[in-house]
Amino acid sequence: MDLLLKGLRAVVTGGSRGIGLAVGRALAQEGASVALVSRTASSVEEQAAALRAETGAEVIGVAADTGVDASVTEMAAVVRERLGGVDILVNNAAATNPGTISEDDLEAEINVKVRGYLRCACAFAPDMTERGWGRIINIGGLAARRSGSVVGSIRNVAVSALSKNLADELGPGGVNVVSVHPAATRTDTFTDILGRRAEALGCSPQELERQFAASVSIGRIVEPHEVAAVVAFLASPLSVALNGDPVFAGGGTKGPIHY
């Protein structure tokens, strides 16, 4: 299927690794120009160079901290200058702390994953509205539907609420906004968390992964490129019928029925 992304321009925050990098790759493979954004300049530039060589697409790396107003403003100016504009924004940056969570951690994560998403949307949405077309995809997490992590639940529910409000506001102007909530996905962060939890529980990471997999309808952990495929569709003109409602991309949680 041609996703009609050729010639479009995308920004992916948190783009130097994990789901963000996989999304950048998927969009580049479809012919989009991509700006990968990350706090570490050397890392994001290295990944951008690798994707250019792999896909032949225009891919640039831009260093920015989405938790800081001025940094987002500067990043947006750089991207506009180098790509000529932005049609697609994928908000993925997060300040995830796999260890003990405190009130300070909550503030830091809300600042990056909720306020940061809003900062980036405010930076790029006006141009999308002016052109009459755009896509904003906000990456959350399955904690939006379950307890167990106060920080995880609060920030991911907030991502859904932010996305729905933006969708209702921007939709009439041709800009669709959707939140995507992955569950456990095989990234470096997942491996780190898995190891910590396994150590705390006195079991092996392999055993803990088997327990995770048993709770998922597809019977295994989702891979980053599989989440990225969902995001690439949502970024395309073909996804116009989806706006505001969350999309859960975790392989299907066994048990609950959501309707």
Weakest-pLDDT range from 34-43, 141-150, 155-164, 197-206 = 141-150
E-strand stretches of the chain: 9-13, 33-38, 59-63, 88-91, 134-139, 175-182, 247-249
Of the candidates 167, 247, 255, 228, the one whose C-alpha atom is nearest the C-alpha of residue 34 is: 228
Bridge partners of 10? Answer: 34, 88
Mean pLDDT, all residues of the chain: 94
DSSP letter at 96?
-
Bridge partners of 33? Answer: 9
pTM of the model: 0.95
Categorize the per-residue pLDDT at 65 as very low, low, confident or very high, splitting at 50, 70 and 90: very high
Cα-Cα end-to-end distance for the chain:
28
Count Cα atoms within 13 angstroms, Cβ side, for 73.
3
CA distances from 184 to 73, 122, 248 (A): 32, 29, 12
Phi, psi for 218 (deg, rounded to 5): -85, -5
Would you kindly state where each structural domain of the chain is located, as residue ranges? 9-185+224-245, 186-221
* Per-residue pLDDT tens digits for 69-111: 999 999 999 999 999 999 999 999 987 655 555 667 889 889 9
* Per-residue pLDDT tens digits for 124-138: 999 999 999 999 999
Give the pLDDT confidence score for residue 143 in this predicted structure. Answer: 87
**Domain 9-185+224-245 bears CATH identifier 3.30.470.30:** no
DSSP letter at 27?
H
